[in-house]
Amino acid sequence: MPDTDVTNINIIGLLFIFLMGILTILLPRRLAILPIILSACFMTQGQTIVVLGLHFYSFRIIILIGWVRLIVRRELSPSIGLNAIDKLTIAYAVVGFAMYNLLWQTQEAFVNQLGFVNNVIGIYFLCRFLISDLEDVERVIKISAMCSIPLAVFMIWEKLTGENIFSIFGGVPEIAYIRDDIIRSQGPFRHPILAGTFGAATLPLVIGLWGKGRNRKLWLLLAVLSCIVIVITSASSGPALALGGALLGLFFWFFRKYMRLILLGGLGIFISLSLVMKAPVWFLIARVNVLSSSTGWHRAYLIDQAINRFNEWWVMGTKETADWMPYALTSVSADITNQFIAEGLTGGMLKMILFVGIIVFAFRLIGKRIRHAKNGEYLSEFEKWAIGVSLFVHIVSFFSVSYFDQIILFWYLLLAMISALDYDSLQKKRPEEMGCA
What is the mean pLDDT, run by run of 10 residues, along the chain of 437 residues?
Answer: 68 94 95 96 90 81 94 80 93 97 94 92 95 92 96 97 95 91 94 96 95 76 97 94 96 92 91 86 79 76 95 95 87 90 97 98 94 78 95 96 94 96 56 35
Number of domains in the chain: 1
Q: Which residues, in sequence order, are bridge partners of residue 182?
A: 179
Contact present, 118 and 60 (Cβ < 8 Å) = yes
Whether 258 maps to a domain, the answer reads yes
Nearest-angstrom CA–CA distance, 132 and 76: 11
- CA nearest to 142, candidates 241, 58, 33: 33
* Alpha-carbon distance values, 199 to 151, 179, 234, 255, 322 (Å): 9, 20, 9, 25, 32
- pLDDT at residue 50 in the model: 84
Nearest-angstrom CA–CA distance, 102 and 110: 10
Whether 49 maps to a domain, the answer reads yes
DSSP symbols for 86-106: HHHHHHHHHHHHHHHHHHH-S
Contact present, 44 and 1 (Cβ < 8 Å) = no
- pLDDT at residue 2 in the model: 44
What's the predicted TM-score (pTM) here?
Answer: 0.92
Q: What is the dihedral of CA 333, 334, 338, 342, to 10 degrees?
A: -20
Q: Which residues, in sequence order, are bridge partners of residue 179?
A: 182
Whether 275 maps to a domain, the answer reads no
178 φ/ψ angles, rounded to the nearest 5 degrees: -130, 125
The two most distant CA atoms of the chain are separated, in Å, by: 69
Task: List the Cα angle 136/141/146 in 5-degree steps.
Answer: 125
Question: What type of residue sits at position 336?
Answer: I
- pLDDT at residue 432 in the model: 36
Whether 290 maps to a domain, the answer reads no
Whether 294 maps to a domain, the answer reads no
Contact present, 380 and 356 (Cβ < 8 Å) = no
Whether 436 maps to a domain, the answer reads no
What residue numbers bound the domain in which 420 lies? Answer: 11-267+316-425
Q: Which residues of 251-276 are buried (b: 16+ CB within 10 A; e: fewer)?
A: ebbeeeeeeeeeeeeeeeeeeeeeee
Nearest-angstrom CA–CA distance, 97 and 56: 18
Whether 241 maps to a domain, the answer reads yes
Whether 281 maps to a domain, the answer reads no
